[in-house]
Amino acid sequence: MSVTVVVVDASEPGNVGTIARSMKNFGLTDLLLVDPPELDPDGEAYGFAGQAREDVLPEAREVTFDHVVENYHTVGCTAITNEDATKHVRYPFRTPAELADSLRGVEADTAVVFGRERVGLTNDELARLDEVCSIPAAADYPVLNLGQAATIVLYELRDLTVAEPQHPDGRHDRADEAAVEGLHDQFADFLDAIGHPEEKRGKAQRLWRRFVGRAHPTGREARTLRGLFRRAGQRIDRVEHDDEGGADGGDGA
């Protein structure tokens, strides 16, 4: 598997440099930036980057948030969630150590996404990501500096990025992102077919995305589920059409 780091809308160039340095420490090289600040080669970003100024930072690419969602298995990193099983934007979440365990043996291009210094990732952004990772911290002050948070998460992922990972149970060939996104689209069509209340669809889709994100379905599993949802929707359409036909079928004289 490969791990890409994504930084969304950072305001401080020094934080981008610090994250690049942490990436270099723990064997990562691919850095994507969404709405980044200006990274002056003579400024803080390069000053804080250490040896990452030679490769990680100069090779960083600016992309859109849509690009990240569409091309990677995504993990959104956030502070303490203050949510429970009744909500599905920031819950369920994994700790960094749990995230490393869950990704071990999974063949997927994974993007670990970090948000803004002050507010982190928005609920709308998190709702589009596959998994949530949160760092356990003291309840009276759970918010970490952006660079600190990235360092902790990347440290826990080091076994996946520094050395050749071990796969005691064999490799897990996760479906590619196009297939996974197609599965999400098929689920949305299924909700429409069964007439699920519109005001509840967003929550249902977030729950489904979190479930699939943790499950890491194979290509065959994704295709099978898409087929099941598609056939269920088609059957519902036929039943509704037959009912309408019966209702308009005359008086039977």
pTM beyond cutoff 0.85? no
Rounded CA separation 55/111 (Å)? 19
Give mean pLDDT, residues 218-234.
Answer: 86
pLDDT of 229 reads 85
The CATH number of 2-161, from 3.90.1640.30, 3.40.120.10, 3.40.50.10420, 3.40.1280.10, is 3.40.1280.10
pLDDT-based confidence at residue 8 (cuts at 50, 70, 90): very high
pLDDT category at 76 given cuts 50, 70, 90 is very high
What is the band of 165 on the pLDDT scale with cuts at 50, 70, 90?
Answer: very low
Strands 109-114 and 172-173: what pairing? Answer: unpaired
Inform me whether the pLDDT recorded for 198 exceeds 50: yes
Residue 211 has pLDDT above 70, yes or no: yes
**C-alpha torsion sign, points 175, 63, 146, 50:** positive
Q: Which residue has the higher pLDDT, 235 or 1?
A: 235
Sorted by where each begins, the domain ranges of the chain are: 2-161, 175-247
- Indicate whether 127 pLDDT > 80: yes
Q: Is the pLDDT of residue 45 over 70?
A: yes
